[in-house]
Amino acid sequence: MVHSASTGETAGGWGLEHMALLRSLVTGYVLLFFSERLFWTVFRPGDSVGDYVITWLAYSVAAYLLLCIISVFRVAHAAAMMVAGAMYGWLVEGGIAATLYGTEESAPFPLSLLCTGVSWHALISVTVGCYLIPRLLRRTSPWPALAAAVGIGLFWGLWATFLWAETPSQVTPVSAFVAHGALITSLLAACYWLWARLEARAFRVTWPGMAVATLLLGFFYVQHVAALGARVLLLPALLLGAGLVLWRYRIVGAPAAVAPLPPSPWVARNCLALLAAPLVATGVYALLLRSGMDGSPIRDTLWWAMIGVGATAFAGSILVILAGRRTADGPPTDP
């Protein structure tokens, strides 16, 4: 499944590495939005545009590895995407960050196995951001995309209150909240529009891309080895286990390849529906701000709900794959 740099050129003279880079940057921003900006909800004191760009590039490296996982294991269905999302989440939380190993008070080991690699990255960033939303944007009707945007906005506005309970408390004015939300969601809509155009060409794994992504991720991972010792062996063990599950998916009946999708005339219009998300989020945020709540009850409720839903979805996805049988058109199905 790994192609050399000389295996061919895409339309317009774009080589495989160029297309892979563009796909990684676009997917990287989608992951940045759901994994980072939706989590922190606003620009905090000390944040800068430079930090934003560096974080985007870091997520683009993780995005390339996620695209490689999707390509190699022929991931094309929700159950497999959830498992692939967990691999991405563990790479972020155990390869770039160190929260997978229980270094954060809010997520001690073994709870760190689920949060936030599974409960946020796999569930929200990959399954919703990289699987569900692109499919809704291709629909002829704009209502599914609008409904998803409203759902994202409700969650966004509720989750944003967790910063009020931080020490020190961080309360962002409503005007700054909506400005930030509109900016990052406009960029998200543009990325989804470009994503739809890139879907017309298949993603291929290349040796140079794998080498660069592995070296960059390895730079952070080596630092975790020096600081945490044998605990970091947890990451390759988790990746191996999830990889074996996806291998089962691949050999039981995954499609021969994730087929390129033809351009959809509805994507540009449906992308505009995503702009409802920051408007709904701002309305919820402003209402809660006026109510005088400190955000703790909402934060704790959402936190544990995501852990429960993420764990259930992940376990269910594994069971679907392991219990699946070969079908005429491809994916494993329930027995």
Q: What average pLDDT does this structure show over 123-139?
A: 95
User: Which range has the worst mean pLDDT, 145-154, 216-225, 292-301?
Assistant: 292-301
Going by pLDDT thresholds of 50, 70 and 90, the confidence category of residue 9 is very low
Q: What is the pLDDT of residue 327?
A: 44
Q: What is the pLDDT of residue 253?
A: 66
Going by pLDDT thresholds of 50, 70 and 90, the confidence category of residue 209 is confident
Q: How far apart are CA 91 and CA 122, in angstroms?
A: 11
User: Which range has the worst mean pLDDT, 23-27, 200-204, 249-253, 302-306?
Assistant: 200-204
CA distances from 117 to 91, 120, 184, 277 (A): 8, 6, 22, 24
Instruction: Tell me if the pTM is above 0.85.
Output: yes
Q: What is the pLDDT of residue 255?
A: 63
Residue 298 reports pLDDT greater than 80: yes
Here the contacts of 162-169 (C-beta below 8 Å, separation 24 or greater) are: 162/41, 162/295, 162/296, 162/298, 162/299, 162/302, 163/40, 163/41, 163/42, 163/44, 163/295, 164/293, 164/294, 164/295, 165/294, 165/295, 165/296, 165/299, 169/294
Going by pLDDT thresholds of 50, 70 and 90, the confidence category of residue 158 is very high
Going by pLDDT thresholds of 50, 70 and 90, the confidence category of residue 258 is low
Mean pLDDT across the chain, nearest whole number? 85
Q: What is the pLDDT of residue 145?
A: 95
Residue 4 reports pLDDT greater than 90: no
Q: What average pLDDT does this structure show over 313-333?
A: 73
